[in-house]
Amino acid sequence: MQAMKNYIIHDQENLLKLISKEKINFNGKIKMNIGQLSQDENAQYEKYFNEYYNACGCEMGSFFCFVSILLYSIFEIFHNDNINWLTVRNGVIIFFLSAGLGKIIGIFIAKMRLKKEVTELLHRLQ
């Protein structure tokens, strides 16, 4: 079993690596230790960075699934007199497509939020 390796941010260079194309080699948590910030501020940024950096898009994916199935069901109730296997198959396809799309959008939003938080913190530290 491999020991957990945290990524410790103690300066602007470490902070920039969070939003660079370069993959950071760690399997633990992001830890903040910037001297210019209070303990509470370090803890708050640590929480945001871990949430955004490790986002998987599941929350947005589940939301898209719920909305798409709800809308598809309402559409079918009003526009289709008989529910058959084709209707069910289409519903399943819509379900999985919306889950994938939601996950992709959720990950994209998290990465944009991470970039925004890091950029704002970098400006603040200058």
**CA dist., res. 102 & res. 117, Å (int):** 22
Q: What percent of the chain has pLDDT over 90?
A: 80
- Kindly report, residue by residue over 1-22, the tens digit of the pLDDT: 678 899 999 999 999 999 998 8
Model pTM score: 0.86
